[in-house]
Chain A
Amino acid sequence: MNVADIPLISLITFVPLVGAIVVAFLPRERAGLIRATALVFALVSFGLSLLLLIGFNPTNPAFQYQEVHDWIPVFGIQYKVGADGLSTILVVLTTTLSWISILASFRPIKERLKEYMISFLILEVGLIGVFVALDLFLFYIFWEVVLVPMYLIIGIWGGSNRIYATIKFVLYTLVGSLLMLVAILATAYTFEAATGTWVGAFDFITLRNFAATTGFVSNVQLFAFLAFFLAFAIKVPMFPFHTWLPDAHVEAPTAGSVMLAAILLKLGAYGFIRFAVPLFPAAAETFAPLIIVLSLIAIVYGAIVALVQPDWKKLIAYSSVTHMGFVTLGIFIFQEQGLQGAILQMINHGLITGGLFLMIGVMYERTHDRTIARFGGLAGRTPVYAAAFGFFVFASAGLPGLSGFVGEFLVLLGAFAYNPWVAAVAASCMIWAAAYLLFMFQRIFTGELSDFLRGLGNHLTDISPIEALTIVPLGAMIVVFGLFPGLILHMVQGTVSAVLTEVQGVSPIHLFFWQ
């Protein structure tokens, strides 16, 4: 059988599901077996995604490895998946962090291990699905599928205030996503009304061409874009919609936080790039100024608030707000470097913040406390841990040579071309980031060992090999992408130019209360 015939993407997507089912039938008491099985399936999916990466042809801007099966022909709804550069990168990111997170859950998770692994694998299915779905309906389904396992992961294995956090997370996300559902249906219907056929009404590629040629009527664009925007903005999360994030992060178990920060937040940005902007360019142009302002607020505001966080995880959570602010900024200046920077920033934030949360988890395992005030002088006691953490801290602060820098710089460059003052405000985050990150690092690692830590005695061991195993890949990638960002940039070049050709030169819709 020909290699091209292998439904590679479907395999990547559903191998974890198979894993979940297998795990479901394993005896509850065989913890080791359950762990191993989950890890193996995650690794298989990871390996397959690497095949995708290798087989992907960056010079071809089209969606590759497409699989199309009719699903609900009445409405032209298909099972249609495919990957362009962006999808491929994000899929690989997902599969990578999935197995890392599962590995990282080995020690912390003892309660209801089986349910945990099942939820986690299903979560992975949803995440990958979102990135490869080329049918809006399918996309929405995967989008919602992500919600449930995350809800359980936070709600069951989370911290003391987990239920509040998880319900907030779900409801908040639902409000956005359900409106998005209405928007998706409205879009499809508009297409059907215009062309007289349901065929392709949910097919992204068809819709994109439609948007490029005929274009959706302006009020549909406005409504649909706003709905999409709300859904994605909540997920990103953008400035006024961000308050679910700190709670969710603080309460979630380590691996949960990792997936949340590294992948879930990317869903929103991905949605913007893939759907919101190309489908409704005029509306996007219309609201771009507003979104840019919100992004700037997020960048500065998030950083300042992060400065005074008493909780280790909360601090990183707010730093996520800042970094994702860069992403949305980069997207909505509609400028080549900006968009590439945004995508790069997505990946980097995934790696870096994921790493940070893993590290925090490592220490939480020993201290069962995240109150920064109770730490201090850790560097003397756990030098390797401190060094590794410092590495991620500086990566997060955008130190050149590490991956964080290139993304931010490209966004700045784009922003500057858009408007120097925007760039100036955004650039100020270089100071902020340094401030809150180093302030945190200083409080936790330098000085004399705090009484609390001294009280832990021998529990306070340095990082263990298996933990290191979860960190090292991330660190390596951070360095590699820092020195050779081209690896990613070449992949996404096609996506970027495709999106920009959609949106550039489109004149914004004139609103009586706007512009």
Chain B
Amino acid sequence: MAIPDAVPFINLPWDDVLFIILSVVMVGSALLVVTLRDIIRCGLAMMVCFGALAGLYVLIGAPLVAAAQVLVYIGAISVLVLFAIMLTQTKAAPARLVFQTQALPAAIAAAILAVLIALTVLATNWNAVSAPIRTSTAVLASVLFNQFVLPFEVVSVLLLAAVIGGIFLAKREDRPE
């Protein structure tokens, strides 16, 4: 059967609804990330947040990036983070204060920042088109390997360096403390 091109009752186009849902989820989970007491929950919330973000990417017409997002973040980084959490877990940690003493000023600053950004965005004419342009994977690939080949290579170097250094720092060689 044919899906109506607008959601019944509220009469909004589907992707708008999706957008709303996804953004609400994202923002919500993001807020959880920065507020939850138990840091493990924070990690999980972050996964949710990134998931929603991936959804938005799809919505915006960048499925490949969305896929990468899921792989890299939800797959790699979050797991990494969770491991780190395990490694650095102190018994007392959750009991301790979540927030810095300067939480309030921080909040104010963040709020002002958000408002500033919002206002500028609205005040600026980005001469944008009205509909998102879909990028086909093939085109992206060609761009990536022609116009962006150098960055692409460099990133690999970057990762290499990060890994080498990371290993050196993280590896525990038993020396008399």
Asked if A and B form a direct contact in the complex, defined as CB atoms under 8 angstroms apart, the reply is no
